[in-house]
Amino acid sequence: MKQQLHITLVRILLVFIISLMSFLALAIQFSTAKDQNICDSVTEISYSECRVLVSLYNSTNGANWADNTDWLRSDTPCSWYGVECEAGIVTSIMLGSNSLTGTIPLEIGNLPNLDRLRLQNNLALSGPLPNSLVNLTNLSVFRFDNTNLCIPPNPDIQTWLNDVDSRGSVETSDITCGQLGITGPSFSEINASDTFYASFISGTVSMPIMSGTFSLPITYTWQPEPTTGQGTNIATYTWTILGRQIITASIPYSFNIAPATHAITIASGATPPESISLTGLTAGVINKPYDFIAQVMPISTTKPITYMWQVTDHLPVTIPVNSASFRWQTAGEKRVTVIAFNRAGSVSSTHTIHVTSSPIPPKSVSIEGDKTGFMNTDYQFTARVNPITTTQPITYRWTATGPYVQTHVGTEYDTVIFNWSSEGIKTVAVVVDNGIGTTTEKFSITLEIESIPIISVTISGPEDNIGHVNTRYDFVAEIFPTNANTPINYEWSPEPMFGQGEAIVGYEWATTGEYVVSVLASNMSSSAEDMYIIDIESSIIPPTPVSGEDLQSVMINGPTIGKINTPYTFITQFLPVTATRPITLTWKPIPIDGNQIIVLPDEEQLQKLNQVTITVAYLWDRIGEKIITVTAQNIIDL
């Protein structure tokens, strides 16, 4: 009897618990529905701004605020505690010291006209400031001091905070968020699977970062949903969509760690290798191993990549790594060839190494570099060892006036860069040592105080840019500044009669037309260019005019359609026929015969008084619209 009573009581208790849970679920659904529907009846502000206020309430545990008067209980949001409006727009949210708990929702950025936002003295308010805050371009007061909100390592947020402060005032929590990072490939292909790792790259936390056992539980949220690993810091994705994909990893905002994003490009198929470089020593001795490294490009080449090595005196070998070591038992020139391939393609490269039966010491070394220069400027010097079969590796010990010392280990040549802060003659020396022998060389460079570049150069020539045939004209190039470093070379074009390389040159033309003279002035550190256009005319001594009349008109008659490389004749006619002679006809462009200016002189007037037409010919080698112009002038007309 007691056992039956016990079972009955247990059943009654279970029914009560289930009923209570159902009631609570209905209450939550009712509350949520009420939250969602409250904005349907709001008319004094927009529906979207109402939804922002509801999101803020829910995100910060509004039901437990110290004061939540009217929130979600009336359809007049402008009367809700801490909310102020103007002309139907939310302009202020004042919830300082109000027991807010949680985070600022992303929706807060949908209040573009918000002027004041006060959230200070809410210690349970935490997490990074949402990036959507940058949309609040009218905000002039923002307080979140004495909270656990943190400023994310986002330059846009910092710039926005500075802008708000310039408009009014900002009081912060002085907490900088940590930053979550994602490690994983940046390229993959369709149907491939890739693994990504989330870890903290900045900020201070109280638990280990990598996978393993944590002193506090951390749940990682990955977006989009991974194939495996949701909730952990290691996620795997299998790609079914082409193009650029963005992966996001985040942890609860209470950790004050900003989320991380990672971009990966998914290709439709394998990416083939496009090129390969092969590096290694170029000289050695028998029975000693030498390493060679191959580098495939682009870095997005689809894996796996297989490397086939074909080497003199060795059988071919295929391995999945990009480095290999070889030794030779005989002397001579040895060729190392590597072929890298994946399922999409292959590339190859060959490297030569000179192998000798016994070590060869360096006999000499030469240094190449500039012999003049300027202080506070980098100069590169190259040392080359002779013979090229000198046994490697070779140690180069560089010294220079200063003193400066650099030591490198390399092949048959090596480079170094020096920079001096004073003028004068500087000495560069190198000691070459390969463990068998040494040799040395010195080199000098003379430095001036400073580099003064040529900023501009100007050409001066004949007055009004006009000249006459068969007359020599001088042109002068003037640089600015005048104290630019010397020597200065002047390169003129076209080639002058004299003075090439100098600032003054001479030119003379035998035919009329427009000519261009250019000069390039250069010194060790700079160059400048200028050009000069001169119009060369005929040398005409105006004859004594014969009385007559003014010119009244001139006309051109000829074809209006033609073909390239075909000569065409054009006739000019001027009126009246009794116009004062001489008459000068100037044609543009220059006709085929090169005679641009035609003159009917006075001594021929009687014979040519009735000649009122002149004929010229033109030929073109390019299609297009061509314009012919003729100008007729006489003394009276002038």
Convert the pLDDT of each residue in 149-186 to its tens digit.
888 877 888 899 999 999 999 999 888 887 788 888 88
Please answer whether residues 419 and 392 qualify as being in contact, where contact means their C-beta atoms are separated by less than 8 angstroms.
no
d(CA 558, CA 202): 83
* Spacing of C-alpha 121 from chain mean position: 45
Orientation of helix 47-59 relative to helix 2-37, angle to 10°: 140
Convert the pLDDT of each residue in 504-544 to its tens digit.
999 999 899 999 999 999 987 789 999 999 999 886 555 44
* HSE-up (13 A, CA, CB side) for residue 243: 3
Give the DSSP H or E segment for 200.
strand 193-202
Average pLDDT across the chain, whole number: 83
pLDDT band at 552 (very low <50, low <70, confident <90, very high): confident
- How many CB atoms are located within 10 Å of the residue 268 CB? 8
Q: What is the CATH number of domain 275-356?
A: 2.60.40.10
Q: Give the residue-averaged pLDDT of 381-409.
A: 93
Residue type present at position 339: I
Q: What is the predicted pLDDT for the residue at 27?
A: 45
- Which of 388, 378, 305, 402 shows the shortest CA–CA distance to 345? 305
Q: What is the predicted pLDDT for the residue at 330?
A: 94
Q: What is the predicted pLDDT for the residue at 546?
A: 47
Q: Out of 111-115, 285-289, 485-489, pick the least confident.
A: 485-489
3-state secondary structure of 636: coil
Q: Out of 62-71, 281-290, 371-380, 574-583, pick the least confident.
A: 574-583
What percent of the chain clears pLDDT 90, i.e. is strictly above it? 49
pLDDT at 603 over 60: no
Q: Which CATH architecture has domain 42-171?
A: Alpha-Beta Horseshoe (3.80)
Give the DSSP H or E segment for 162.
helix 155-167
- How many CB atoms are located within 10 Å of the residue 636 CB? 13
Please answer whether residues 369 and 382 qualify as being in contact, where contact means their C-beta atoms are separated by less than 8 angstroms.
yes
Strands 345-356 vs 413-418: parallel, antiparallel or unpaired: unpaired
Task: Tell me if domain 42-171 and domain 364-448 are identical in fold.
Answer: no
Q: Give the residue-averaged pLDDT of 16-43.
A: 58
- Provide the b/e sequence for 379-400 (b: ≥16 CB within 10 Å): bebebebeeebbbbebbbebbb
Convert the pLDDT of each residue in 326-362 to its tens digit.
999 999 999 999 999 887 888 999 999 999 999 999 9
Q: Give the residue-averaged pLDDT of 471-476.
A: 90
- Which of 182, 185, 200 shows the shortest CA–CA distance to 248? 182
d(CA 355, CA 483): 56
pLDDT at 569 over 50: yes
Tokens linked to 604: 């021929």
Q: Out of 15-24, 304-313, 371-380, 569-578, pick the least confident.
A: 15-24
d(CA 103, CA 127): 6
pLDDT band at 456 (very low <50, low <70, confident <90, very high): very high
Q: Degrees (nearest 5) of the Cα angle 411, 416, 421?
A: 170
pLDDT band at 32 (very low <50, low <70, confident <90, very high): very low
Q: What is the predicted pLDDT for the residue at 413?
A: 93
- Which of 93, 76, 218 shows the shortest CA–CA distance to 144? 93
**Is the C-alpha dihedral spanning 394, 400, 403, 404 positive or negative?**
negative
Q: What is the predicted pLDDT for the residue at 208?
A: 30
pLDDT at 609 over 70: no
Q: What is the predicted pLDDT for the residue at 544?
A: 47
Q: What is the CATH number of domain 553-633?
A: 2.60.40
Tokens linked to 227: 């194939």
Tokens linked to 200: 């903290």
d(CA 35, CA 29): 10
Which class is 178-267 in CATH?
Answer: mainly beta
Q: What is the predicted pLDDT for the residue at 218?
A: 79
Asked if omega into 224 is within 30° of 0 (cis), the reply is yes
**Is the C-alpha dihedral spanning 284, 289, 291, 292 positive or negative?**
positive
pLDDT at 390 over 90: yes
Q: What is the CATH number of domain 364-448?
A: 2.60.40.10
Contacts of 19 (CB under 8 A, 6+ apart): none
Q: What is the predicted pLDDT for the residue at 342?
A: 85
Q: What is the predicted pLDDT for the residue at 614?
A: 72
d(CA 631, CA 629): 7
Q: Out of 62-71, 348-357, 544-553, pick the least confident.
A: 544-553
Q: What is the predicted pLDDT for the residue at 33?
A: 42
Q: Give the residue-averaged pLDDT of 212-239.
A: 80
Q: Give the residue-averaged pLDDT of 92-121.
A: 94
CA dihedral 416, 420, 423, 426 (to 10 degrees): -40
Higher pLDDT pick, 407 / 545:
407
- How many CB atoms are located within 10 Å of the residue 327 CB? 15
Q: What is the predicted pLDDT for the residue at 393?
A: 93
pLDDT band at 421 (very low <50, low <70, confident <90, very high): confident
3-state secondary structure of 578: coil
The terminus-to-terminus CA distance of the chain in angstroms comes to 142
Q: What is the predicted pLDDT for the residue at 590?
A: 80
Q: What is the predicted pLDDT for the residue at 362?
A: 94
Q: What is the predicted pLDDT for the residue at 600?
A: 60
Superfamily of domain 456-537: Immunoglobulins (2.60.40.10)
Q: Give the residue-averaged pLDDT of 577-583.
A: 70
Q: What is the predicted pLDDT for the residue at 204?
A: 39
Q: Degrees (nearest 5) of the Cα angle 148, 229, 253?
A: 5
pLDDT band at 459 (very low <50, low <70, confident <90, very high): very high
Backbone φ and ψ for 280, nearest 5 degrees, come out as 170, 175
Q: Give the residue-averaged pLDDT of 205-212.
A: 32
pLDDT at 65 over 90: yes
3-state secondary structure of 12: helix
Contacts of 157 (CB under 8 A, 6+ apart): 129, 131, 133, 134, 151
Backbone φ and ψ for 160, nearest 5 degrees, come out as -65, -45
Query: Could you tell me the residue ranges of all domains in the chain?
Result: 6-37, 42-171, 178-267, 275-356, 364-448, 456-537, 553-633
